[in-house]
């Protein structure tokens, strides 16, 4: 069973992976402070497939590492 963790603990545990997080707390700039890891993988597509099955929860997809230079980020 997953548990609520702060973002730094999630980063430490899943460094270099894509993470699907059901967030429980955001800061004023809408950045995740705490949440529950629903899925994690080094394969981004795997996380997006999992995202399709999530309903009724506030979720975010985050990369827990350095953003690759060949990746475009939309904010």
**pLDDT tens digit sequence for 19-55:** 999 999 999 999 999 999 999 999 999 999 999 999 9
| 0.75 surpassed by pTM | yes
Of the pLDDT bands very low, low, confident and very high (cuts 50, 70, 90), residue 75 is: low
Q: For residue 59, what is the enclosing H or E element?
A: strand 59-63
Q: What is the pLDDT of residue 8?
A: 96
User: Phi/psi zone of residue 11: left (φ > 0), alpha (ψ -120 to 50 degrees), beta?
Assistant: alpha
Share of the chain above pLDDT 70, in %: 95
- 65 vs 25: CA distance, rounded Å: 21
Of the pLDDT bands very low, low, confident and very high (cuts 50, 70, 90), residue 2 is: low
């Amino acid at each position: 069973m997953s548990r609520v963790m702060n973002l730094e603990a999630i980063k430490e545990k899943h460094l270099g992976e894509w993470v699907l997080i059901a967030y429980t707390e955001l800061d004023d700039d809408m950045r995740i402070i705490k949440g529950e890891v629903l899925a994690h993988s080094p394969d981004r597509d795997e996380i997006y497939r999992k995202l399709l099955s999530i309903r009724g929860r506030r979720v975010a997809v985050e990369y827990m590492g350095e953003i690759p230079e060949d990746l475009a980020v939309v904010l």
